[in-house]
Amino acid sequence: MALVEIDKAYKRYGTVEVLKGISLDIEEHQVVCLIGPSGCGKSTLLRCINCLEPIQGGEIRLHGDRVTGPGVDLDLLRREIGIVFQSYNLFPHMSVIENVTLGPVKVLGMQRNAATDKGMALLERVGLAAKAREYPDRLSGGQQQRVAIVRALMMDPALLLLDEITSALDPELVSEVLDIVRDLATKGMTMVLATHEMGFAREVADKVCFLQEGLVYEEGPPSQIFGNPQGERTRAFLKRIIDAGRL
């Protein structure tokens, strides 16, 4: 059984159908990259996986248990599935260490000292231990995004969702965030990334999923999607990316 099974997930906003029956399996330790044209539903799919948005049809399962529909324990689910957004969303009135320890202390009931130790160890790992007492507005975008990743990791999630996490960053700050993601991938973290960073997707993904108009149009290893795409629309999409000098 896959860690996550997305089974014909259907989502609409009003009359606009955004996900039209997406099916996708995510295996443990896999890195899955969602690519596709703007508006194809990448972010929406991530938000549906951790129930920030309800789906209106189909089912999503984690460890074989349904995480969509009535009766789901959202607190438990959000411990298992972490999400990092494009706009870091740190609390501005809290220091870095307060931001990353809040969840474990409040939600998991972890002792503050233990949470601080864990937070410091993770901040060290992303090169930000020295910034622990700073407030977010004293950090660069790349540093804030690394803190947001640490905040998600503090909960020891089974799955990490990364929604365009480098899109708001100045180009020179992108690589410091991608380095962290690359490191997590080598350590076996299961991740799903919605991304426009095609070079990165080609390098780190185990599976690349090309979405088109709310459906999985083509999925496969990066060697297939970037080297030998089977579908006409995948080829057209990649040609546009290559012509724009982004791959």
Ligand X SMILES: Nc1ncnc2c1ncn2[C@@H]1O[C@H](COP(=O)(O)OP(=O)(O)OP(=O)(O)O)[C@@H](O)[C@H]1O
Q: Does 15 bind ligand X (CB under 6 A)?
A: no
Torsion of CA 200, 52, 44, 221, to 10 degrees: 40
Binding to ligand X by residue 26, rule CB under 6 A?
Answer: no
Q: Which of 84, 128 has the CB closer to ligand X?
A: 84
Contact 152, 85 (CB under 8 A): no
Under rule CB under 6 A, residue 18 binds ligand X = yes
Per-residue binding letters, 89-118, with ligand X (x by CB under 6 A): ------------------------------
- When binding is defined by CB under 6 A, the residue of 194, 201, 204, 208 that contacts ligand X is 194
CA distance 53 to 194: 16
- In whole angstroms, how close is the CB of 41 to ligand X at the nearest point? 4
Placement of tokens 């948005």 in the chain: 53
Half-sphere exposure of 41 (CA within 13 A, CB side): 26
Site for ligand X in 150-189 (CB under 6 A): 164
* 40 lies in the binding site for ligand X (CB under 6 A): yes
Rounded CA gap, 118 and 101, in Å?
8
Q: How many residues bind ligand X (CB under 6 A)?
A: 13
Residues in a beta bridge with 25: 5
Closest approach, Cβ 25 to ligand X, in A, equals: 20
- Please say which residue, 100 or 238, places its beta carbon nearer to ligand X: 238
Structure tokens at 82: 């972490």
Residue 183 falls in which region: left (phi positive, over 0), alpha (psi -120 to 50) or beta:
alpha
Binding site for ligand X (CB under 6 A): 13, 16, 18, 36, 38-44, 164, 194
